[in-house]
């Protein structure tokens, strides 16, 4: 919740010019809801995809203040971030709600970016495997093999979101392996090899290379650094 319409337009115009020649990396931006329509029009015929930061777990109805999957799809979104650490820990969204959001997104042909991650207390208590396994299995409940291949998973250690801290590349890789093995257990080896698993947690130009050197990290879910066109360009082009 940083940029309004005018600032979003300014950032997108700058970003478009900086990454226009990038072809091997998929680029996605997820502006605030109020900027989606304007940004969508700016991204036509560009190499940047559009997503939203959240959707409602319900189809439609008396849910004042919520935004539905159908609404963001109509605006031009192709992706929806679901279960972001702030939605889980600030707004207390549980695995059941997140699972409903994933299903709603898929029903509207939106690609969910399904976020999982542990808190610092959970990590220090040695509960990483337990927490990540629970979030992945509950979030993917009743999701089919065809559906999971339309999704992206993002590992976001909560203690590294907006704190300036980040997991070491090895720490991130260990959790990405865990997630990939869970997907293999729930589906099969082919699916686990194909699904993209992103790392999100204070990703910056100076740590993107070391993170992407890890075999199971397929990309980045960028937070604060995405608000600066120069930094985001460096991450895209590392």
Digit-coded pLDDT (tens) for 60-94: 999 999 999 999 999 999 999 999 999 999 999 99
The pLDDT of residue 82 is 98
Q: Residue 13 catalytic?
A: no
> Rounded to the nearest 10 degrees, how much is the dihedral formed by the CA atoms of 214, 47, 84, 67?
-170
Going along the chain, which residue ranges are E strands?
27-29, 48-52, 79-82, 111-116, 152-155, 196-199, 219-220
* CATH number of the domain where residue 222 is located: 3.20.20.70
Q: Which of 84, 86, 108, 233 is catalytic?
A: 84
Q: Which of 86, 93, 118, 156 is catalytic?
A: 156
Sites in the chain below the pLDDT cut of 50: none
Our count of domains for the chain comes to 1
Which strands, in side-by-side order, build the sheet including 219-220?
27-29, 48-52, 79-82, 111-116, 152-155, 196-199, 219-220
The pLDDT of residue 159 is 80
- The whole-model pTM stands at 0.96
Largest separation between any pair of C-alpha atoms in the chain: 49
- Scan for tokens 């969204």, then name that residue: 93
Q: Residue 194 catalytic?
A: no
Helices (H) and strands (E) in the chain, counts: 12, 7
**Domain span at 77:** 5-236
């Amino acid at each position: 919740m940083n940029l309004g319409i005018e600032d979003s337009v300014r950032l997108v115009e700058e970003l478009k010019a900086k990454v226009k020649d990038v072809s091997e990396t998929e680029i996605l931006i997820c502006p605030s809801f109020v900027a989606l329509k304007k940004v969508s029009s700016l991204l036509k015929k560009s190499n940047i995809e559009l997503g939203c930061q959240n959707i409602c777990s319900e189809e439609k109805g008396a849910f004042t203040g919520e935004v539905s999957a159908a609404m963001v799809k109509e605006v031009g979104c192709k992706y929806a971030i679901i279960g972001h650490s702030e939605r889980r820990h600030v707004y207390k969204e549980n695995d059941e709600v997140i699972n409903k959001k994933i299903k709603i997104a898929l029903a509207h042909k939106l690609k969910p970016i399904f976020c999982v991650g542990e808190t610092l207390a959970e990590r220090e208590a040695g509960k990483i495997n337990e927490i990540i396994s629970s979030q992945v299995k509950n979030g993917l409940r009743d999701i089919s093999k065809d559906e999971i291949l339309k999704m992206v998973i993002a590992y976001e250690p909560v203690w590294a979101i907006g704190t300036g801290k980040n997991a070491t590349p090895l720490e991130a890789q260990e959790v990405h392996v865990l997630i990939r093995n869970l997907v293999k257990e729930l589906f099969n080896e082919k699916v686990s090899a194909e699904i993209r698993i992103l790392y999100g947690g204070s990703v910056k130009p100076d740590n993107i290379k070391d993170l992407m050197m890890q075999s199971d990290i397929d990309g980045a879910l960028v937070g604060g650094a995405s608000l600066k066109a120069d930094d985001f360009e460096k991450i895209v082009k590392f």
